[in-house]
Amino acid sequence: MLMDENKAASRSSRPFFCDRFRQGGCVQPHYQLVLDREDNLNVLTVNVEVGERSFSDEVKGLQRLEKRITKHIKELLGVSARVKLVEPRAIERSQGKVVRVVDNRTI
């Protein structure tokens, strides 16, 4: 039973789209949530690093991947988010760790 609990704990620490879209090297397990304010509304943008193979693919394929991830977030969390695919290693890491949430909102 302890091994099952450990598996569940490690799964819950991964990004919510990780398992579904990592097959085939589509995306990396690195992501960043960026919160902004536009016209008095909160806007969530999810920056997702794509895999080396996907990054060199055609633009239409990347656009389809963006739409699939956007739809998955909406279905899973019930919130709308903009998804931005970024090149590998584009999300800044400090001491090997990714800054997961960037809050650019001001009150």
Domain ranges of the chain: 2-103
Q: Which CATH superfamily is domain 2-103 in?
A: ANL, C-terminal domain (3.30.300.30)
Least confident of 10-14, 20-24, 57-61, 83-87: 10-14
- What mean pLDDT do residues 15-24 have? 53
107: helix, coil or strand? coil
Listed in sequence order, the DSSP H helices in 1-107 are: 2-12, 18-22, 52-55, 59-77
Between 32 and 5, the higher pLDDT residue = 32
Pairing mode, if any, of strands 82-86 and 41-50?
parallel
- Report residue 56's pLDDT band, with 50, 70 and 90 as the boundaries: low
Across all residues in the chain, what is the average pLDDT? Answer: 77
Residue 48: other Cβ atoms inside 10 A: 24
- What mean pLDDT do residues 95-107 have? 83
- Report residue 17's pLDDT band, with 50, 70 and 90 as the boundaries: low
